[in-house]
Amino acid sequence: MLSPEDRLQCVQHLLQARRQRQLARQPSRSFPGLDIDDAYGIQELWVQACVAAGNRAVGYKIGLTTHALQQALQASEPDYGRILDDAVFRAGEPISAALFLQPRLEVELAFMIEADLQGVGTSTRDVLLATGAIIPALEIVDRRTELPRAITDTIADNAAFGALVLGAARIDPTRADLHWIAGSVARNGVIEETGVSAAVLGHPAAAVAWLVAALARTGRKLEKGQIVLSGAFMRSIEVRAGDEVLADYGPYGKLQVVFT
């Protein structure tokens, strides 16, 4: 367990990396005793610093929602980070690649929460009933630290959240078969990855239910008005300035992003 001073030092290094666009040393290397509780504590301090600077926390992103990713980081469950308002974009809106250090892009679904969710017993059905709409979305993942990274480094680094891009389509959570929403992503006209939403813990809403339980362990809840990115259902692709990305969700529309 780290001291409050050590946690604050980690936050300062991560914030400096973000400002200066230079990768910081992994927190786990600077503080070998860093554990999961420390990592989430550092993340919370990072969010508090951003809010103090004028941002708003508007939701959560869920990561490590496939067995392969959990194995790669020797994790036993997913992780989560916070979404800030200045990192939410709309489809078609140009995005500067210079905002990020090591940007990659993931195809996901965003849950628009319209009723509070709380408790370790929250079910997939509870999530669907509390969701006003599901929106095709892209997550720009970014890291502010050097490699290799332990799971604690990823969590402390706000679960590698960079930005969220929301599409225009609204999917009714009670009518769509969320197991089988298929998609593809093309970069500069070439399809890079394809996948299906069942890759996210078997059902994207199951990832949201996991998040509610994880928050409950710290006395928190998922609140009305928040956005939740449920996790990637295909591998991430690298993006850079000049790239044009098109995610195709079939009957649920397409989502385009241009990086400048």
Q: Which two tokens stand for residue 129?
A: 């009933």
In this prediction, residue 253 carries a pLDDT of 95
How many residues appear in the chain? 260
State both tokens at 4. 């409050």
| Tens digit of pLDDT at every position of the chain (260 positions) | 899 999 999 999 999 998 898 999 999 999 999 999 999 999 999 999 999 999 999 999 999 998 778 787 788 899 999 999 999 999 999 999 999 999 999 999 999 999 999 999 999 999 999 999 999 999 999 999 999 999 999 999 999 999 999 999 999 998 999 999 999 999 999 999 999 999 999 999 999 999 999 999 999 999 999 999 999 999 999 999 999 999 999 999 999 999 99
pLDDT at position 252? 95
Cα separation of 225 and 137, whole Å?
17
Place of tokens 């591998």: 235
Interatomic CA distance for residues 110 and 112, integer angstroms:
6
Query: Which domains does the chain possess?
Result: 57-258 (3.90.850.10)
pLDDT above 90 covers a percentage of the chain that reads: 93
Res 70: pLDDT: 78
Structure token pair of residue 198: 């069942």
> Does the bond joining 32 to the residue before it have cis omega, within 30 degrees of 0?
no
Q: What is the pTM of this model?
A: 0.96
Q: According to the model, what pLDDT value does residue 215 have?
A: 98
